[in-house]
């Protein structure tokens, strides 16, 4: 979210200008696979160009990210490489979220008098970092070294000889300031406290972080220093023109920052251990003690390194250049920083209901921080593939959040929902977790939560009822719901369609064929916002008319993009999109134009530094030109991802952008939400071996791989010829070997007739009104209600959504996002009928009967207008079938 537009242009030099149409010579011998990937991580990649990654110390999915902050501090990463001073080393960070976040409890080592607003200059020549470790020599003579464990961190400060060697705790220095702080000197070797912050992207949510820090030697004295006021900043371009429900906090002035002072005239080194918790100081103490039983900095650093090797080593690559290997493993590292462990070593955590809970039996941890709009496209799949056990607990955490807070996480920070961005991303996240091998969660509860959110209006889907009637989100509706930051109706419609398809795919995987069919059908609503005359996704008003003055380069009706960038966003039905445009040639023309530049520009080109464009290069696979996917993906790899601080375009979005690079370098991309479908590009490395959740391996061999040889000449799968632009879906579970011969010139025939799967199905049948045999009367949802229960009544026929009914494959009849339901599954005479959340029960099944009747088979009774009433508002019921006009229903 909140992307900075790329400043990178395609080089006119022509990346792929080699003249010979023959494969590059194979290297002598087999590729040597990387054995110590953590040593290749360069955490400074993405610390400039507003990618907003951070270079500090952490472990996979860790609660602590002890990292430096600099004055520019663009947002959650807290560090801008082009700055030349450090304002503190804070304990928590997010990787490129697009708005200020975390940065809690900055601690700054100083020498001399204490100044709470101080910053220390430094040179990058005196700075280094790798996975789990960070070090910098400050110009004031202090060397700071940081490492981390799961819920704690360790620091080593080496001071010059001085009686005034200070550690200043900037308690009001969180990214968005703090509304409350506490500080307690426990003993001459221990301090503790808490800070309350939040207001991500202007949201009202706040959280409290507790910390406890111990030193390996007593400090000489402690005190306070006046702290400057901090005003949380609303960053230009980061709120997408839409304010969240609450306003940012007022400036926070204090209490004053606190400090401890050491005499380092005879012993220059001070070591510190810190534990954090979102529950209590006592839990912070316990977390620290569990992680760090002794002051063994070298041992803690080595353990962090090993934890990263254990995770990163699940994908081993060989070949490529040294820089490409660093970029790859850094991208994989960035992909595995979030979500974060949120529960304490004793299992306690603060829930979305602000109460203290304990992690459920069978699960190791509760997790937090979901950048939903971003991560469902790439990072969720990679997380499941590489870390299935942790991802199973992450999925269960989302279900727990739903139970405690009422909705699945959308853009959740710690234990609160911020409602940033649009759509219902939890559905594809959960479905993707399952499809890519993370199965350790309550799948039935997950499907129930996903389906409930897809059928009952909620803060994730405030425009839900529009999906059934009129089947699209009108472009002339209120542009910003107060409840939940809903805007950009065309983009939101497409997000809902992908979410619906993910619900369908997940339901199908679990054997729920009724919901599989229903949501696959409703996912086709994208056709209602596609204008065949213009060839673009386009706003349409509530009357069904296309909005006037449409410009596909405009962001009007869209979220962080334009119609040029969003028109391709039908990842589950690219073949259907091509058909809607008039055929493959038309879609190819669109792709050629929009992908002729990766820079946002005037809005007519792609923006491969932002999520809505990420799938576009892969769509050539679906229209018979996979060689163009191979070409464009390689150009993007070379120009957007580099081994430098500015080497990642746009916000990393909690690993979403980095995960795109990982998949593309392996040679494939998870195109279709909720499935294990992988569209093929070409591998960057001569070999990769991925250990799958099943324990089996997926091997990709490409001995002729080279930077200027992205073109597939031929391929085999498990030794047999492979002429398809996708990976078999069994590859993610059963593994196998995919082998490529690559060359410098396109083979336009390879896989031209083997596109990846597209999923086109009929849309939900629209019955229209249910007209009673009583003249002029229709079945009607009272007051267009969307709550459960709302009575279904007889009412004068009218064109409102309250009378627009749809038939689902499970036999239900639906209006206003809910189902026609017999109260309490009753079977007795004259049991009332209502609109209720669709749940697949027998109370919601209706079958055609004699004389136009609708029969509920559970009771054997018919939908009935009591006493043949003509009074508007009379609630319908079930009654013994009798063939009267009161039980005759015709659709139209």
Q: Who's near 193: CB < 8 A, 6+ residues apart?
A: 105, 169, 171, 181, 182, 183, 184, 210, 211, 258, 281
- CATH number corresponding to 766-891: 2.80.10.50
The predicted model gives 478-498 an average pLDDT of 79
Cut 0.75: pTM above it: yes
Q: Which residues contact 136 (CB under 8 A, 6 or more apart)?
A: 68, 86, 122, 126, 127, 128, 143, 144
What does the pLDDT read at residue 749? 97
pLDDT score, position 246: 37
pLDDT given for residue 154 in this prediction: 98
Domain ranges of the chain: 42-312, 315-743, 766-891
Judged against a pLDDT cut of 60, whether residue 247 lies above it is answered with: no
Higher-confidence position of 601 and 102 = 102
Q: Compute the C-alpha angle 256/257/258, nearest 5°.
A: 115
112-143 per-position pLDDT tens digit: 999 988 999 999 999 999 999 999 999 999 99
The answer to whether residue 286 scores a pLDDT higher than 80 is yes
The CATH class given to the 315-743 domain equals alpha beta
**Whole-number Å distance between alpha carbons of 559 and 571:** 17
Contact 756, 679 (CB under 8 A): yes
599 CB neighbour count, 10 Å cutoff: 17
**What's the token pair of residue 502?**
């993910």
| Residue 93 CB partners (closer than 8 Å, separation 6+) | 54, 56, 65, 67, 76, 77, 78, 101, 102, 103
Q: Tens digits of per-residue pLDDT, 545-560?
A: 998 889 999 999 999 9
- DSSP designation for 813: E
For β-strands 726-727 and 777-781, DSSP reports them as unpaired
The class level of CATH for 42-312 reads mainly beta
- What does the block give as tokens for 123? 């040179």
Average pLDDT (837-853) is: 89
Q: How confident is the model at residue 687 (pLDDT cuts 50, 70, 90)?
A: very high
Reported as a single tens digit per residue, the pLDDT across 143-162 is: 999 999 999 999 999 999 99
């Amino acid at each position: 979210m909140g992307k900075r537009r790329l400043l990178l242009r395609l080089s006119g030099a022509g990346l792929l200008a080699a003249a010979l149409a023959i494969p590059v010579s194979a290297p002598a011998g087999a590729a040597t696979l990387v054995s110590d990937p953590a040593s290749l991580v360069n955490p400074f990649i993405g610390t400039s160009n507003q990618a907003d990654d951070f270079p500090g110390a952490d472990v996979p999915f860790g609660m602590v990210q002890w990292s430096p902050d600099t004055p520019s501090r663009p947002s959650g990463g807290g560090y801008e490489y082009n700055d030349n001073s450090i304002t503190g080393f804070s304990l928590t960070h997010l990787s490129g979220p697009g708005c200020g976040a975390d940065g809690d409890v900055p601690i700054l080592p100083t020498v001399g008098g204490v100044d709470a607003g101080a910053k220390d200059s430094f040179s990058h020549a005196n700075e280094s970092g790798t996975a789990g470790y960070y070090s910098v020599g400050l110009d004031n003579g202090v060397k700071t070294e940081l490492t981390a464990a799961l819920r704690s961190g360790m620091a080593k400060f080496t001071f010059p000889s001085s009686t005034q060697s200070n550690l200043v705790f900037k308690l009001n220095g969180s990214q968005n300031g703090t509304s409350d702080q506490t500080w307690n000197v426990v003993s001459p070797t221990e301090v503790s406290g808490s800070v309350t912050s939040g207001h991500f992207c202007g949201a009202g949510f706040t959280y409290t972080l507790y910390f406890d820090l111990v030193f390996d030697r007593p400090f000489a004295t402690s005190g306070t220093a006046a702290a400057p006021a901090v005003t949380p900043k609303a960053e230009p371009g980061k709120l997408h023109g839409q304010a969240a429900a609450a306003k940012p906090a007022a400036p926070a002035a204090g209490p004053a920052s606190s400090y401890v002072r050491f005499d380092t005239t005879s012993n220059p080194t001070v070591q510190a251990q810190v534990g954090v918790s979102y529950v209590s100081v006592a839990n912070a103490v316990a977390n620290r003690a569990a992680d760090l039983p002794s002051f063994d900095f070298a041992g803690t650093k080595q353990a962090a390194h090993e934890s990263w090797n254990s995770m990163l080593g699940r994908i081993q690559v060989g070949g490529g250049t040294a820089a490409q290997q660093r970029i790859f493993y850094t991208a994989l590292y960035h992909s595995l920083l979030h979500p974060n462990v949120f529960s304490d070593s004793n299992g306690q955590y603060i829930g979305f209901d602000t109460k203290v809970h304990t992690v459920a039996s069978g699960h190791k941890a509760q997790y937090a921080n979901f950048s939903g709009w971003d991560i469902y496209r790439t990072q969720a799949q990679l997380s499941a593939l590489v870390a299935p056990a942790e991802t199973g607990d992450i999925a269960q955490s989302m279900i727990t959040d739903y139970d405690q807070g009422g909705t699945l996480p959308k853009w959740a920070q710690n234990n609160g929902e911020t409602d940033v961005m649009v759509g219902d991303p939890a559905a594809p996240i959960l479905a993707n977790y399952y499809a890519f091998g993370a199965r350790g969660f309550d799948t039935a509860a997950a499907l129930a939560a996903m389906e409930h959110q897809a059928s009952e209006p909620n803060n994730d889907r405030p425009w839900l009822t529009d999906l059934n009637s009129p089947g699209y989100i009108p472009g002339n509706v209120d542009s910003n719901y107060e409840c939940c930051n809903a805007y950009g109706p065309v983009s939101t419609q497409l997000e809902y369609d992908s979410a619906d398809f993910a619900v369908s795919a997940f339901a199908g995987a679990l054997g729920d064929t009724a919901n599989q069919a229903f949501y696959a059908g409703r996912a086709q609503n994208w056709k209602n916002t596609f204008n065949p005359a213009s060839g673009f996704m386009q706003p349409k008003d509530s009357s069904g008319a296309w909005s006037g003055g449409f410009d596909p380069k405009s962001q009007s009706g869209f979220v962080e993009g334009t119609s040029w960038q969003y028109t391709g966003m039908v990842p589950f039905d690219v073949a259907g999109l091509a058909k809607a445009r008039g055929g493959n040639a038309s879609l190819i023309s669109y792709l050629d134009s929009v992908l002729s530049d990766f820079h946002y520009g005037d809005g007519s080109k792609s923006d491969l530094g932002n999520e809505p464009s990420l799938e576009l290069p892969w769509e050539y696979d679906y229209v018979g030109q996979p060689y163009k996917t191979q070409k464009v993906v390689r150009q993007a790899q070379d120009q957007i991802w580099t081994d430098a601080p500015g080497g990642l375009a746009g916000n990393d979005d909690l690993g979403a952008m980095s995960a795109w690079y990982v998949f593309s370098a392996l040679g494939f991309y998870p195109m279709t939400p909720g499935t294990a479908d992988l569209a093929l590009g070409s591998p960057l490395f001569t070999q990769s071996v991925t250990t799958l959740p099943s324990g089996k391996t997926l091997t990709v061999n490409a001995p002729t791989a080279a930077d200027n040889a992205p073109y597939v000449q031929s391929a085999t799968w498990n030794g047999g010829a492979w002429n398809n632009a996708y990976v078999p879906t069994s590859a993610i579970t059963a593994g196998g070997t995919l082998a490529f011969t690559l060359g410098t010139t396109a083979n336009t025939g390879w896989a031209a007739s083997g596109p990846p799967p597209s999923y086109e199905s009929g849309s939900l049948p629209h019955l229209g009104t249910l007209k009673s045999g009583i003249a002029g009367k229709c079945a009607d949802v009272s007051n267009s209600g969307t709550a459960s229960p709302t009575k279904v009544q007889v009412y004068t026929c009218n064109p409102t959504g309250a009378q627009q009914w749809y038939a689902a494959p499970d036999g239900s009849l639906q209006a206003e996002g809910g189902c026609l339901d017999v109260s309490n599954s009753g079977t007795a005479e004259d049991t009332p009928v209502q609109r209720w959340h669709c749940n697949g029960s027998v109370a919601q099944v209706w079958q055609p009967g004699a004389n136009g009747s609708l029969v509920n088979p559970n009771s054997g009774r018919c939908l009935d207008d009591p006493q043949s009433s003509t009074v508007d508002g009379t609630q319908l019921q079930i009654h013994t079938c009798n063939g009267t006009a009161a039980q005759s229903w015709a659709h139209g």
